[in-house]
Structure 1
């Protein structure tokens, strides 16, 4: 399931009119959501609460090894912000249908008023027993500019030791070039006992977005890493989809290393069949992407599509032109729905003698009456029995939803037919790695059960089974 920070950041973008999918960082987001879904590790419990319309609190505990985290968030926007999304199972599930339309028409950002209170999102969490602190701050600078700051701080093993040395209460050990090997060893042992001095990494990202392009300038304080990302849409190239192309360049002054990546994306809102000329095909969105890293020689191609209202599939191929190593991954997502209360009441009100069986409801066969005697030597069926397979007895509310399927489809590619019961995801790679994940809502909880195992005897890995339980408290 999605973590709290990701859900809040997506809700903040929707409230402020910022399109996150027009970033080069999210170029392959659709296939990554379908193929790279996380598996819970062992047993995890978490909870989220929304006491006010602009404040949120969450807690999380994990076992083997034991760890805990406490997080708080505050948001201030001009437009209404759906901060209750953190306690909504539909937003916490790792659904991929939202990312199958990355290049939909931009709905425009609200008019920026410099005199109005600044829009911002603040998020922070502290982890125990490591003492690690995470922070996120996003604020709108102007109509087309946005600033994001993320920080990760690791506390020293003994926090009072650096403070005492700074105040002069403790002496700082001096390293001598003429020290013997024994003293050097003792100094290393002393540093090992005191633990690491603590580190803080700050990443600043300045984003500029227009209706057809997005540019990002980033700087990492820890390793002096400068980065630049750019993605532009070419809507005029084809009428059957939108083609986007971009690149990423980064350089580290501390490590004296650099990297570059280029990629393109072809989003097809009407599906791949319509994009190649089949105008009679149903509207099923699809996304095809291609990325290339010239320095590492890595090529990645992916394709994600929606086959049905409840079925999404994706495939990805990785190849290295230097080592000739390759990998192929296939994944799918199946959406489960809950039977509406009206249908369950209608089924229970029907007399048990006349209620259809499961085989009759799916249209397999019709059970003969009790007074009909048949044998295998009969040459023809009794006229009382149908000569053709019966039609499934679909509930009325499901038939109405099926007839209005086209009108019920929203801009995000989902349908509002029946309540969500959960999703089932599967992934299989050519190297023999198999992963299964089930996420479902139960009362006020969201359950996530996953398993990952290796089917290959060449690279055997122990299977991993994890369960995560998220308690969703009542909103304010």
Structure 2
């Protein structure tokens, strides 16, 4: 389940008009949500609060053989007017599940915070900023995040980690993203080995920079998923190099996903390739019904001929019918990163989600099961990791997470 700080961070992206899905790093997000979900380990308690629209805090206490925990603080220059009480937050805004993407749109900045001067082509308002810090106890390691909207189509991100066990006591990762709607470019630098990198993603078909009547697009209804109105094909690549280690790497990937206008089942297909390591991965995810999502993934290495097959499912348990006010509010936040708040009726469930069952299994006999639900004022995550080939110790991992926010 998405933790409270990630929930606030998602709201920041939405309220500032930034599309996190238009990135090479998010190419396989749908498959990752359905197959690579976290299984709780031990007992963990989370208490969070949005004390003001600009400031949030979170405290964690865990037990994994030893008692540990963390303290988190978040500040945003843009007030986040969101529901923060755990009993009122719709579960679909906290569940990492099938990700339904929308049609592309240009990044937009809030008129009150980022005003664009058409004559000088410069920003005349303040730039939205987010600061986040988390201190882990008893290790005293520290992680921090700095986000700043430099312009409507540019975002600067700094990730910092301070830990005595790391070389030089810590590391800093800088990422500059330039989103032009049709394509996005990303430049990164890490103080760890002075790593330099570049990522890019290109979307075929519809161009949000050009008016629709100038793109020579047929006005007829889309007949098959490959029409630009029905789906979107994206291709991207990344390359990185370390002058200190004199080593680097490259990867490339494809993604096709249906859009909400598609009349059939929503589905997403991805293919990624790392030619230096010889790794090939393909995935297929489908929302088979209003409450059911399925995913399969095949990994293969062309050098060692090793392969791995993973299967996963996500089943939503529905409860009471939603009120009109809850449906209207859910349209604003459901499926973060769309870059727009106009959501088709069929995307927002007519009933409140009371629980979600996630399960995955590999051809090696390893399985994981997680149940996420709400119990009165609390958000509960219960999960277990299984190894079906070990008859003496089938359950290898078991955990319970309880979260409360106000």
Structure 2 CA distance for partners of 1:464 and 1:35, relative to 1, 3 Å: same
Offset, 1:26: 0.5
Question: Do 1:50 and 1:84's aligned partners in 2 also have CA atoms closer than 8 Å?
Answer: no
Correspondence 1:204 to 2:137: no
Correspondence 1:444 to 2:377: yes
Give the aligned partner of residue 263 of structure 1. Answer: 253
Q: Which has the higher contact order (CA 8 A, sep 6+)?
A: 2
Structure 2 CA distance for partners of 1:150 and 1:313, relative to 1, 3 Å: same
Instruction: Please give the residue correspondences for 1:1-400 in structure 2 after superposition, counting only pairs within 5 Å.
Output: 1-64=1-64, 65-77=66-78, 81-84=80-83, 87=86, 88=89, 90=91, 93-97=94-98, 99-101=99-101, 103-106=102-105, 108-110=107-109, 112-113=114-115, 114-155=123-164, 199-235=169-205, 238-239=227-228, 240-269=230-259, 282-340=263-321
Q: Tell me how far apart the structure 2 counterparts of residues 146 and 249 of structure 1 sit (CA, whole Å).
A: 20
Structure 2 CA distance for partners of 1:442 and 1:68, relative to 1, 3 Å: same
Offset, 1:18: 0.8
Q: Tell me how far apart the structure 1 counterparts of residues 171 and 320 of structure 2 sit (CA, whole Å).
A: 49
Question: Do 2:321 and 2:350's aligned partners in 1 also have CA atoms closer than 8 Å?
Answer: no
4+ residue runs over 6 A deviation: 458-461
Question: Do 1:317 and 1:326's aligned partners in 2 also have CA atoms closer than 8 Å?
Answer: yes
**TM-score, normalising length: structure 1:** 0.70
Question: Do 2:251 and 2:275's aligned partners in 1 also have CA atoms closer than 8 Å?
Answer: yes
Offset, 1:471: 1.3
Offset, 1:89: 5.1
Question: Do 2:294 and 2:312's aligned partners in 1 also have CA atoms closer than 8 Å?
Answer: yes
The structure that is strand-richer by fraction is 2
Q: Tell me how far apart the structure 2 counterparts of residues 119 and 466 of structure 1 sit (CA, whole Å).
A: 38
Q: What's the RMSD between the two structures over aligned residues?
A: 2.6
Q: Please give the secondary structure, in 1, of the residue aligned with 2:400.
A: strand
**TM-score, normalising length: structure 2:** 0.81
The structure that is helix-richer by fraction is 1
Which shows bigger deviation, 237-246 or 292-301? 237-246
Question: Do 1:7 and 1:91's aligned partners in 2 also have CA atoms closer than 8 Å?
Answer: no
Q: Please give the secondary structure, in 1, of the residue aligned with 2:25.
A: helix
Offset, 1:286: 1.0
Q: Which 5+ residue runs of structure 1 have no aligned equivalent?
A: 157-195, 275-281, 343-408
Offset, 1:340: 4.9
Q: Tell me how far apart the structure 2 counterparts of residues 462 and 425 of structure 1 sit (CA, whole Å).
A: 17
Question: Do 1:151 and 1:202's aligned partners in 2 also have CA atoms closer than 8 Å?
Answer: yes
Which shows bigger deviation, 333-342 or 251-260? 333-342
Q: Which 5+ residue runs of structure 2 have no aligned equivalent?
A: 116-122, 207-225, 324-341
CA radius of gyration, larger in: 1
Question: Do 2:92 and 2:353's aligned partners in 1 also have CA atoms closer than 8 Å?
Answer: no
Question: Do 1:423 and 1:440's aligned partners in 2 also have CA atoms closer than 8 Å?
Answer: yes
Question: Do 2:106 and 2:181's aligned partners in 1 also have CA atoms closer than 8 Å?
Answer: no
Paired residues, number: 355
